[in-house]
Amino acid sequence: MQVGLIGLGIMGAPMARNLAKAGFQLTVATRTPGKAESFAAEITTTPKVRAARSPADVASASDVIITMVTDSPDVEAVARGDEGIFAGAKPGSVVIDMSTISPQVTRDLASDAAARRLSWLDAPVSGGQKGAIEGSLTIMVGGDRQVLERCRPVLEAMGKRITHFGPPGAGQSAKLCNQIMTALNLLSVCEAMVFGRKAGLDLSTLHQALTGGAANSWALEVLGRKMIDRDFAPAFMVRLQQKDLKLVLDDARASSTPLPGAALVHQLLAAVEAEGRGDDGTQSLVRVIERLAGLNP
Amino acid sequence: MQVGLIGLGIMGAPMARNLAKAGFQLTVATRTPGKAESFAAEITTTPKVRAARSPADVASASDVIITMVTDSPDVEAVARGDEGIFAGAKPGSVVIDMSTISPQVTRDLASDAAARRLSWLDAPVSGGQKGAIEGSLTIMVGGDRQVLERCRPVLEAMGKRITHFGPPGAGQSAKLCNQIMTALNLLSVCEAMVFGRKAGLDLSTLHQALTGGAANSWALEVLGRKMIDRDFAPAFMVRLQQKDLKLVLDDARASSTPLPGAALVHQLLAAVEAEGRGDDGTQSLVRVIERLAGLNP
């Protein structure tokens, strides 16, 4: 099976490496000139990875075309542009968009794809760069179930828990549920840490005691530890969490779904961006809550 | 060691049973007339449990006096009342308050106790009725560390993870950190479930997919499952979560610590109470978020 991948960022590059390692004949492209060529040159697996000039070029060489870019407009440009996937893809090909984008834009793209006798799967992931490198991503899929089954070996090269959620857009909706929870669980840890610090508690002792009980979360275990260690390096960047929360709130707005908690976190994370720290990890939200409470950074 | 326990509610009664089972000579009292007597009569361990008429009566018979009542005024009444602990306790005795109450009230009580040559430990718990029955409570302790070490065998009859946090009130502060997190993690699950339901996702599939990743929490695992099953029976009652959030927000107010997330959950849970459902489990918050989103209950 010929596989194409468009987007060689911090997620796309390790995903492409795992596809090559799994033995797929892989063609790649990305926006930055020269980047696809140097990526292809450094991969030593057989068959060799091929660099293409454009998404259309990737598509014409592939049965399955994966996109891993940032946001809805990026996927739309990659799919519908003059040199886009739709311009080059052979009928019967499958596009798997693994970016996190709008469920509604996904439905529109899937419908455009169908009109061109292409299949579209939305398959956003969670697990971050670590999951992408280890090939252990959680993959949430929307679209035709039989198409998913045909593409499963491709997805299995990149992820472990692959779940079909329903028609086009359902994978994106599931991913947004994930992002609502990561956002609120993050605020949960920040407020508890600041309350604890104000009360004079030893935060490592607190972390150890509370991870064992009903307050526990992945956010407490992983991000809480980073807050205590004052490690603000990104596991997941604030600006990407904000992009995802905007998707959540736009989608919720369209369906008249009030999400007061998710909206609050979106507002508070804007204070991190206002400081020019949008590339920091989401755990840097604790600095905002500390500042509100009059604590030194 | 002679042990006394005051308060035979859903937490206190199983805790007293575990103390009796561990072989402590136990004296109990509670507000409801006759309840202590019937409790004592049903325990078949040796030595027999003795029912006392008042907290003073419990205190005069005990080296360690445990209180497990609802809120700050209850502990104050039990300690300072005419027939209270302070009226009956022998110098050198230790009071261990395992209720969840105000850190400031705790500091005041500890200081009163010291003036009477009594020791005071605050030792609130998490783990709920299940943890109380199984003797697996998490216990967060404030007060003198040496006094805690002396009382450890008593606490070990009731709990597993016993952590010393600092001076009087520190155990209560740690417990309130726990409650901040359980509150926000709860809202996190509610908003994701409602967003997912609006998007037409199968919620069991969603639950299964997301418990494996960065969105996971005890709240998702346990309360999310109950929401899906429409099981609103209390593991932890709304009115008790509200009592604890009031303690959190009063304490935060006193130290000028803004907690926008915890405050939001407190406000939203008031809508459950407004429906007369304060005795439901906290997972019933999902019904409020559903209602806001125009979903049928």
Beta bridge partners of B97: B67, B122
Write out chain A residues lying below 8 Å of B200, CB-based. Answer: 166, 170, 173
Domain layout of chain B by residue ranges? 2-167, 173-292
Q: Using DSSP, state whether A119 is helix, strand or coil.
A: strand
Q: Note whether B171 and B124 are within 8 A (CB).
A: yes
Write out chain A residues lying below 8 Å of B206, CB-based. Answer: 165, 174, 177
% of chain A with per-residue pLDDT over 90: 95
Q: Which residue of B126, B195, B217 is in closest CB contact with A217?
A: B217
pLDDT digits (tens, 9 = 90+) for B183-198: 999 999 999 999 999 9
Q: Given this model, what pLDDT does residue B235 score?
A: 86
Q: Is CATH 1.10.1040.10 the classification given to domain B173-292?
A: yes
> Is the bond leading into B47 cis (omega within 30 degrees of zero)?
yes
pLDDT digits (tens, 9 = 90+) for B106-128: 999 999 999 999 999 999 999 98
Which of A21, A90, A175, A226 does the annotation list as catalytic? A175
Tell me the two tokens of residue A265.
Answer: 């976190």
> Is the bond leading into A14 cis (omega within 30 degrees of zero)?
no
pLDDT digits (tens, 9 = 90+) for A4-44: 999 999 999 999 999 999 999 999 999 998 999 999 999 98
- Closest alpha carbon to A255 in A196, A149, A169, A165: A169
- Closest alpha carbon to A104 in A246, A244, A251, A259: A251
Distances (CA, A) of A122 to A90, A101, A112, A164, B65: 19, 9, 14, 10, 61
Q: Given this model, what pLDDT does residue A212 score?
A: 87
Contact A213 B178 (CB under 8 A): yes
Residue A120 has pLDDT above 90, yes or no: yes
Contact B195 A176 (CB under 8 A): yes
Q: Given this model, what pLDDT does residue B45 score?
A: 82
The mean pLDDT of A131-157, rounded to a whole number, is 97
% of chain B with per-residue pLDDT over 90: 95
- Closest alpha carbon to A58 in A29, A25, A90: A29
CA of A187 to nearest chain B CA: how many angstroms apart? 7
Write out chain B residues lying below 8 Å of A182, CB-based. Answer: 214-215
Round to whole Å and give the CA distance between A16 and B189: 33
Q: Given this model, what pLDDT does residue B44 score?
A: 86
> Which value does ipTM take for this structure?
0.96
Contact A268 B256 (CB under 8 A): no
A199 → chain B, closest CA residue: B173
pLDDT digits (tens, 9 = 90+) for B152-209: 999 999 999 999 999 999 999 999 999 999 999 999 999 999 999 999 999 999 999 9
Q: Which residue of A177, A192, A198 is in closest CB contact with B192?
A: A177
Q: What is the mean pLDDT of chain B?
A: 97
Q: Given this model, what pLDDT does residue A45 score?
A: 82
CA of A118 to nearest chain B CA: how many angstroms apart? 24
Q: Given this model, what pLDDT does residue B212 score?
A: 87
B125 → chain A, closest CA residue: A213
Contact A195 B259 (CB under 8 A): yes
Residue B297 has pLDDT above 70, yes or no: no
Q: What is the mean pLDDT of chain A?
A: 97
Q: pTM of the prediction?
A: 0.96
Q: Given this model, what pLDDT does residue A201 score?
A: 98
Q: Which residue of A188, A209, A268 is in closest CB contact with B180?
A: A188
pLDDT digits (tens, 9 = 90+) for B217-235: 999 999 999 999 999 999 8
Q: Which residue of A198, A219, A260 is in closest CB contact with B255?
A: A198
A171 → chain B, closest CA residue: B201
**Among B178, B181, B223, B287, the residue to mutate for chain A (most A Cβ within 10 A):** B181
pLDDT digits (tens, 9 = 90+) for A179-204: 999 999 999 999 999 999 999 999 99
A295 → chain B, closest CA residue: B257
Q: Which residue of A174, A184, A198 is in closest CB contact with B201?
A: A174
Q: Using DSSP, state whether B67 is helix, strand or coil.
A: strand
Write out chain A residues lying below 8 Å of B128, CB-based. Answer: 214
Q: Given this model, what pLDDT does residue B236 score?
A: 92
**CATH code for the domain defined by A2-167:** 3.40.50.720
Q: Given this model, what pLDDT does residue A297 score?
A: 67
Phi, psi of B64 (to 5 degrees): -125, 125
> Residue-wise over B215-249: b if at least 16 C-beta within 10 A, else e?
bbbbbbeebbbbbbeeebebebbbbbbbbbbebbb
Would you place residue A160 in the very low, low, confident or very high pLDDT band (cuts 50, 70, 90)? very high
The mean pLDDT of A208-221, rounded to a whole number, is 95
Contact A262 B177 (CB under 8 A): no
CA of A4 to nearest chain B CA: how many angstroms apart? 27
Q: Given this model, what pLDDT does residue A229 score?
A: 98
Residue B18 has pLDDT above 80, yes or no: yes
**Among A177, A189, A247, A248, the residue to mutate for chain B (most B Cβ within 10 A):** A177
Contact B217 A213 (CB under 8 A): no
Residue found by looking up tokens 């967060």 in the block: B140
Write out chain B residues lying below 8 Å of A236, CB-based. Answer: 214
The mean pLDDT of B265-272, rounded to a whole number, is 98
